Amino acid sequence: MATVDKLADASSAASAPSLGEAIASRLPDETWTQILASLDYRRLLRMRRVCKRFKRLVEDQKFKLFRRGFIGGELKPGKKVAIHPLLSSVDCVGVTVTWAAVLSGCYHDQSISRHDHDDVAAAPSSPSASSNSDGDEDDSTSAKLALGSHAAEHKSSQEVPAVKDDASDDLKEFNGLEYPAAEEFATSPACKELRVSMMGEHGFSKNDEIVVKDSTGVKCDRVLKAIAKYWAKAAPAAAARQVRAENGWPKEHKVCRNEVLSDHRFFEGWRPAVVKANGSVYLEALRFGS
């Protein structure tokens, strides 16, 4: 894929339009469509800005991963399901209903330029990942979210506010809920019921699932907000008593679930999604780091 990245990089130069169009003209649309179908979420977005011809090809319905709603009969046990990169790119332990911090390794990606952010912000319907020609979408669980080396654009085309004073990228935090990607579907194929298990430690049960339902397809923002509400609930009694004792809190003090995690609160991602017998999708978090 190095050639694809070089081609996208060239589009930042002053001669980019003529260069991109010259390269694009060497092959027919059918061939370029096959090439584009092999690209991941990030590279597909980059290719949109090489030239007008590539932009037209990328906006074809073939590249619809995470933008197509729920269709009955698609999800059966054993079906391969892709999880939207956004759900792996934000802190799903520290998330609140208004803030989902983008993990630093996901936005500090020097291979992405400001142009990519402009594309995403200006076109909420921009493609999110590749799919192969027969319509069976590629697994993009490990695909990188196109956030880049600078702050991505807010929906109002203004930079997402940093929560720290230092101006360096390393000390800024950006809100994943403000990205257009938050309004895309959480899985591909889209599901109408997503069941999420965050942990099985500290008195929590893996069976204590977060259930998100939507007849048209579950979207990322709803999943993140549901996870936030899960953490805001009261912790199991035994774990809550221990936290109160350690902190000298009165017994009437409410201890939220995320307060019992101590230093073991670093989100590490997800296990592969599993389709259940009823067509729902089950998603389980990896054990948290410290």
Q: For the segment 50-65, what is each residue's pLDDT rounded down to a tens digit?
A: 788 877 877 776 666 6
Is residue 45 classed exposed, middle or buried when 0-12, 13-18 and 19+ CB atoms within 10 A define those classes?
Answer: buried
Q: State residue 103's pLDDT score.
A: 87
Separation CA 161–CA 188 (nearest Å): 31
DSSP state of 161: P
- Residues belonging to the chain: 290
Residue 284 CB coordination number (10 Å):
17
Is residue 158 classed exposed, middle or buried when 0-12, 13-18 and 19+ CB atoms within 10 A define those classes?
Answer: exposed
Residue of 107, 85, 7 whose CA lies nearest to 47: 7
User: Per-residue pLDDT for 14 more than 60?
Assistant: no
State the pLDDT confidence band at 109, using cuts at 50, 70 and 90. Answer: very low
All residues at 6 or more sequence positions from 247 whose CB lies less than 8 Å from its CB, including other chains: none
DSSP state of 90: B
The mean-pLDDT minimum among 62-71, 152-161, 251-260 falls in 152-161
CA 84 to chain centre: 5
Q: State residue 7's pLDDT score.
A: 62
What is the average per-residue pLDDT within 100-125? 50
223 and 193 in contact (C-beta within 8 Å)? no
Q: State residue 138's pLDDT score.
A: 38
State the pLDDT confidence band at 30, using cuts at 50, 70 and 90. Answer: confident
What percent of the chain is predicted at pLDDT more than 90?
34
Q: State residue 146's pLDDT score.
A: 39
4 and 130 in contact (C-beta within 8 Å)? no
How many CA atoms are closer than 13 Å to the CA of 63, on its beta-carbon side? Answer: 29
Its sign, for the CA torsion 239, 243, 248, 250, is: negative
Q: State residue 161's pLDDT score.
A: 33
Q: State residue 163's pLDDT score.
A: 42
Q: State residue 250's pLDDT score.
A: 95
**Could you report the per-residue pLDDT of 141-193, keeping only the tens digit for each?**
233 333 332 223 333 333 333 343 444 545 567 899 998 889 989 998 999 99
Structure-block tokens of residue 251: 């017994």
146 and 42 in contact (C-beta within 8 Å)? yes
Separation CA 283–CA 195 (nearest Å): 6
**Cis preceding linkage at 189, omega within 30:** yes
Please calculate the CA angle 241-243-249 and round it to the nearest 5 degrees.
Answer: 85
Domain extent listing, the chain: 82-284
Q: Tell me what the pLDDT averaged over the chain comes to.
A: 73
What is the average per-residue pLDDT within 25-52? 77
Residue of 175, 275, 189 whose CA lies nearest to 225: 175
The mean-pLDDT minimum among 9-13, 62-66, 92-96, 120-124 falls in 120-124
